[in-house]
């Protein structure tokens, strides 16, 4: 059995604030094979590692990410109650690339481009610009010791990236949409009807994305663990069609075993050390073949 790679979801953030330098450094210390980040664009066109559309949940500030400059974001406290110095908090995509490169070993960098957003596919253009500044080769997905993959729930993102990035380095994410999950990521002043409408839009995008997956338009699929459990036939069909699979978010032994049973290539987790331990226990002490990078 091929051992899946372990990808740290927003860093190792069970005890540290997500998508901060501290969380990513902890992930590397815990032996993660790579890291995942979410990116958005600031008011002045910088690409930053922030999951939500606003900073309300993750910082002591408020407001939409796209309405704040990088300098304004740097003034906010992203500690989330942890004892983390300000200089180990907010990261740009460039900062994260430099942090990972400094580790001096082979790593996966999985970048999720967040949609919907007010700038549309200008985000894709900005991400490609940043990667180009670091001499990323889209044909091989290599950036020094890093292997970079780009992913989104939105088919428009894939369409914007496809002229530059080969299909085998692109991923479509998928899940069964729940309105309450969408609402948790939105600005608190958005009315419930707006949340429901956005959920409907996202569900339509996911359906379109699954059609692209069935057609082989990308090389990777990124289902959440609940989707893997709920749709085994579809997961098997995608695997038979040659799609590689990165599953999120897997944080316990049961989830690891389900991923092994499904034959996934990569496991995304908030707790990389724990998942690595579960993989060791599941596969025994004998050396295992490690999966290739994306």
Q: What is the pLDDT of residue 88?
A: 74
Residue 200 binned pLDDT confidence (cut-offs 50, 70, 90):
confident
Indicate the SS3 state at residue 146. strand
- Burial level of 102, CB count in 10 A (0-12/13-18/19+)? exposed
Which residue matches tokens 């960098």? 109
- pLDDT exceeds cutoff 90 at 204: no
The Cβ of residue 215 has, within 10 Å, a number of other Cβ atoms equal to: 9
Q: What is the pLDDT of residue 101?
A: 98
43 touches 68 (CB < 8 A): yes
The average confidence (pLDDT) of the chain is 92
Kindly report, residue by residue over 245-258, the tens digit of the pLDDT: 999 999 999 999 99
d(CA 186, CA 65): 11
- pLDDT exceeds cutoff 70 at 219: yes
The domain made up of 5-283 is a member of CATH 3.20.19.10? no
Q: What is the pLDDT of residue 52?
A: 96
Q: What is the pLDDT of residue 199?
A: 73
Q: What is the pLDDT of residue 150?
A: 99
- pLDDT exceeds cutoff 80 at 73: yes
d(CA 260, CA 254): 10
Provide the residue ranges of all domains of the chain, joining segments of one domain with +: 5-283
Q: How many CA atoms lie within 13 Å of 181's alpha carbon, on the beta-carbon side?
A: 9
CA distances from 233 to 168, 220, 237, 240 (A): 22, 17, 6, 10
- pLDDT exceeds cutoff 50 at 286: no
Which of 100-104, 142-146, 174-178 is predicted least confidently? 174-178
Provide mean pLDDT across the span 279-284: 91
With b meaning 16 or more CB within 10 Å and e meaning fewer, what string describes 156-195? bbbebbeeebeeebbbbbbbebebeebbeebeeeeeeeeb
Bigger pLDDT: 2 vs 180: 2
**Pairs from 159-164 (Cβ < 8 Å, separation ≥ 24):** 159/121, 160/121, 160/124, 160/125, 161/124, 161/128, 162/217, 164/128, 164/138
88 touches 95 (CB < 8 A): no
Bigger pLDDT: 128 vs 116: 128
Q: What is the pLDDT of residue 201?
A: 77
* Percentage, residues of the chain above pLDDT 90: 79
Taking the alpha carbons of 258, 173, 57, 230 in that order, is the dihedral positive or negative? negative
Provide mean pLDDT across the span 70-77: 95
How much is the pTM?
0.91
């Amino acid at each position: 059995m091929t051992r899946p790679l372990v990808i740290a979801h927003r860093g190792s953030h069970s005890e540290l604030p997500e998508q901060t330098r501290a969380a990513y450094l902890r992930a590397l210390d815990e032996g993660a094979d790579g890291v995942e980040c979410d990116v958005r664009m600031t008011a002045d066109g910088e690409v930053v590692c922030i999951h939500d559309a606003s900073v309300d949940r993750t910082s002591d500030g408020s407001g939409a990410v796209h309405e704040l400059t990088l300098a304004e974001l740097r003034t906010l406290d992203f500690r989330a109650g942890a004892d983390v110095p300000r200089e180990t908090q907010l990261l740009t995509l460039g900062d994260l690339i430099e942090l990972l490169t400094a580790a001096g070993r082979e790593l996966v960098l999985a970048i999720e481009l967040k949609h919907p957003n007010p700038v549309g596919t200008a985000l894709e253009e900005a991400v490609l610009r940043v990667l180009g500044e670091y001499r990323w080769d889209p044909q091989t997905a290599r950036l020094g010791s890093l292997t970079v993959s780009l992913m989104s729930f939105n088919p428009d993102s894939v369409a914007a990236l496809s002229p530059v990035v080969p299909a085998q380095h692109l991923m479509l994410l998928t899940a069964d949409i729940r309105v309450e999950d969408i609402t948790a990521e939105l600005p608190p002043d958005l009315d419930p009807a707006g949340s429901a409408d956005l959920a409907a839009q996202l569900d339509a995008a996911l359906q379109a994305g699954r059609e692209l997956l069935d057609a082989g338009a990308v090389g990777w699929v990124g289902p959440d663990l609940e989707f893997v459990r709920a749709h085994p036939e579809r997961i098997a069909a995608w695997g038979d069609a040659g799609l590689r699979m990165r599953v999120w978010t897997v944080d316990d032994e049961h989830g690891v075993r389900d991923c092994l049973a499904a034959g996934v290539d990569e496991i995304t987790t908030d707790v990389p050390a724990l998942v690595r331990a579960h993989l060791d226990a599941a596969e025994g002490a004998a050396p295992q073949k490690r999966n290739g990078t994306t």
